[in-house]
Structure 1
Amino acid sequence: MITLYAVSDSIGETAELVARASANQFDDDIHVQRVPYIKSPEDVIRFMESVKEPRNSAIVSTIVLVDVREFLVQRCIEKGINIINILGPCISTLSRMSGKQPEYKPGAVWKMDDEYYKKIEAMEFAIQYDDSKSYSGIKNADVILVGLSRTSKTPLCMYLANKGIKALNIPLMPEVPLPEEIFTVDRKKIIGLTIDPITLMEIRKHRLGKVKAGYREIEYANGERILEELDYADKVMRRLRCKTIDVTKRAIEDTALIIMETIGYKPDNK
């Protein structure tokens, strides 16, 4: 088995994302391990001592501290470990193009600026109004997701919140009327989530396998009930005249990208 270490002088999320994206391109068993806060030569030494199989190991590094990065590269050469530094070449290129020296600040991607606090506010918004806890946030939402239970509404809201987008979700049930507030907002803000009935049944059955199911829960995964709900959801979305997205076997990131394009989201570039 190959171990791919995601090494960083900060929390290591960027390195881990790149490492996992790379590992997912192969069928082989590649284990990704995050190694955060490598900020000194002593940290490098301790980490290298923990690498038990150098020949079956590789490193993806986002270390920006030059002395630590160079020390790590040297130790990898000595041990015969392959290392790829992600940020180094990009920082060097930008430095050459701009004629400026980089600040070499670990964790600079997590800068606590207005955009950061906007994300925190959006996350608090998503939690406060999740799953119809309250409809009072409809008028302040950047996007409103409507769909049946288990169509990824909550994960999508949290993902969008991490982009600074205030997302609110409304679960659709034939027995529960839509809030009147939804008919007062711009239709472009409303996104309907649809799904294949067989896939929805499988997801709900899997969900029930984790809980003690009563009569209502069994109906939750019943085929006839699901078709009834899907028919109701289709009628609601037609009434709302909103854009719909089929989330069947679609990754959260993919669905979120479509939503962001639909609402005209543009990240702040600084």
Structure 2
Amino acid sequence: MLTIYAVSDSIGETAEQVARATACQFSEMVEVRRIPYIKSFEDVDDFINGIEYPLESMIVTTVVLVDIREFLVERCIERGIRIINVLGPCIGTASRILNKMPDYKPGAVWNMDSQYFKKIEAMEFAMQYDDSKDYGGIRHADVILIGLSRTSKTPLCMYLANKGIKALNIPLMPEVPIPEELFSIDSKKIIGLTIDPMRLIEIRRHRMDKFNRLSSEIQYANAERVLQELEFADKVMKRLRCKIIDVTKRAIEDTALLIMKSIGYNGVKDH
């Protein structure tokens, strides 16, 4: 098994694309991990020291800051880690042809402004913490959406992310404990999503038909089960004293507008 680390002093998309293009040639034998914002010697040390299997790792880097890049190479040599800088040769060749020193601007390849950067960061946040994969993002989120399965939590998070809002969603289920972190943050950051039970049953049955769910999973769209879940969700939302939005007849855009108004969103210009 090989791990390719896509390392950058910016967001790391270029390095990751190269790494994934390499990985796809070797089926499932290669894992790719993106390591963005390596901008200091301390960042380099923390990253390199955290590599558990150096001989089974390689680094694809687009670091353009010369001193950081050289230090990264030194540390890789020390630990026997193979490293390739995909921008270095290109920048060097262009520099020689133009007889001009490069600007060495991290992230210049994307020509990002602050709003674009904020959107990308928010989208990465939404994907990382989607569907309660990790509760560690709760205190860093701009808004937390809670609700039953199929109440549009994930699409809403992605829509909000496109506005530069870090949104995290937590599915509510009677069998799953509510994360304690929710009770230690401002309730104004929490939005509860509710829906008409008949509409929820319809949506869930459609999803089961679409993905050929097994008959053993029929409880997912069972009326009694749905009512039980809705009652549980209502109790949780009241306990958290959060704003509740009924998404039954609302488009994603309309619900998102209510959420943005509730959290005092000032707006990020679109590009």
- TM value normalised by structure 2: 0.58
What is the CA deviation profile of residues 136-176 of structure 1, one whole-angstrom value per residue up to 9, with x for unaligned ones? 00000000000000000000000000000000000000000
In the aligned structure 2, how far is the partner of 1:112 from the partner of 1:217? 46
SS at match of 1:209: helix
The verdict on how the C-alpha distance between 1:115 and 1:216 changes in structure 2, with shifts beyond 3 A counting, is farther
Aligned partner of 2:246 in structure 1 is: 246
Find the aligned partners of 1:216 and 1:169 in 2 and give their Cα distance. Answer: 27
SS at 1:231's partner residue? Answer: helix
- Give the AA of the match of 1:266: N
Partners of 2:143 and 2:218 lie apart in 1 by 32
Alignment of 1:143-222 (within 5 A): 143-222=143-222
| Change beyond 3 A, Cα 1:216–1:134 | farther
Q: How does 1:8-157 map to 2 (within 5 A)?
A: 112-157=112-157
Alpha-carbon distance between aligned partners in 2 of 1:269 and 1:157, rounded to the nearest angstrom? 18
Question: Letter of the aligned partner of 1:131 in structure 2?
Answer: D
What letter matches 1:161 in structure 2? A
Distance in 1 of aligned mates of 2:268 and 2:223: 45
Count, aligned residues? 161
User: 2:219 aligned with 1:227, yes or no?
Assistant: no
Distance 1:135 1:215 in 2: 32
Matches within 5 A, 1:253-264: 253-264=253-264
Deviation at 1:224, TM superposition (A): 0.3
Contact conserved, 2:115 with 2:269, CA < 8 A, in 1?
Answer: no
User: Partner of 1:150: helix, strand, or coil?
Assistant: coil
Q: CA deviation at 1:269?
A: 6.0
1:178 positional shift: 0.3
CA contact (8 A) 2:183 2:240 kept: yes
2-structure distance, mates of 1:111, 1:263: 30
2:229 maps to 1:237: no
Cα distance in 2 for partners of 1:220, 1:268 equals: 38
> 2:191 touches 2:259 (CA, 8 Å); kept in 1?
yes
Give the letter aligned to residue 130 of structure 2.
D
The structure-2 alpha-carbon separation of the partners of 1:111 and 1:198, relative to structure 1 and needing over 3 Å to count, comes to farther
Q: Secondary structure at the match of 1:123?
A: helix
Structure 1 counterpart SS, 2:213: coil
Which portions of structure 1, spanning 4 or more consecutive aligned residues, are displaced by more than 4 angstroms?
A: none
Gapped regions of structure 1 (runs ≥ 5): 1-109
1:118 and 1:225 mapped to 2: Cα distance? 40
Q: Which residue of 2 aligns with 1:51?
A: none
State percent identity of aligned pairs: 73
* Cα displacement (A) at 1:215: 4.3
TM-score computed with the length of structure 1 as normaliser = 0.58
1:250/1:269 Cα in 2 relative to 1: closer, same or farther (>3 Å)? closer
Matches of 1:203 and 1:173, distance apart in 2: 17
2 CA distance for matches of 1:267 and 1:111? 21
Going from structure 1 to structure 2, the CA distance change for 1:149 and 1:216 (only over 3 Å counts) comes to farther
- Look up the equivalent residue of 2:125 and give its one-letter code: F
